[in-house]
Amino acid sequence: MTYSDYTTALVTGASSGMGNATVRRFTERGLTVHAVARDAKRLGQLAEETGAIPHVLDLADTDAIEREFTGMQIDILVNHAGVSRPGNILDATRQDLENMVNINLGAILQLVRILLPGMVERDLGHIVNTSSIAGLYNFFGHTGYHATKAAVHQLSRQLRNDTVGKRIRVTEICPGRVETEIFARNVGGSPQAIEAARKEYFDGYESLTTDDIVNAIDFAIDSPRRMNVGLMEIMPTFQVPGGLTFNRRG
């Protein structure tokens, strides 16, 4: 199922980063793209530049998701939207955890619930879920984020079981560090925070770019009908998961 099999796509997290880049690629490919994000100004600019159809809504609001997308025919669903919070479960707040569960996992479940039946009925569709190496490997901090991304990993596997015998493809994109705004948002999102995050996480590193992620999605979607690209773990060459800590009590 190459791009010629599809006509419509829905992309979350479209106002910045990987979502924004994916919308641009899909419109270049000739798809009608529904772009979803909370930032009305950025989304409007993206729509003006690409012809995408903007949907300004909070993905934590299930009622809004149902109102907006029930009955819509979507061939490709790309779940990019995600939030993170610094720290582990010991210093997490209720709001931190609720945001991560609702956006990183809940919104994906609800969108799939609403849109997948139509794909099954048409015997045609592709779901792309963005997880993270945090869902496959354990390292310090961001415990709630790790947990929600691990759930996305399992969900992506399970969807293949739920649709066996139908021409539904599911791809999990599992990236390491990508140059996006998520690090700056962790520390407030101000111009000063963006600059501090750039110096802390990107200066001197060869991180992945949004183009790297979009090219991977492009490959998965443009693969032949017989081929499902299930999991793509994409990491910077100089970034590796690993390490083992054994703490000796004094």
Q: Which residues are catalytic?
A: 145
Which pair of tokens denotes residue 208? 């992945």
Residues 6+ apart with CB under 8 A from 71: none
CA distances (Å), 11 to each of 14, 96, 108, 207, in order? 6, 24, 11, 23
Angle of helix 62-69 versus helix 107-122 axis, rounded to 10: 20
Alpha-carbon distance 220 to 232, whole Å? 9
- Cα–Cα distance between 201 and 185 in angstroms, integer? 13
The CA distance from 217 to 223, in Å, is 10
Token readout for 186 is 């962790």
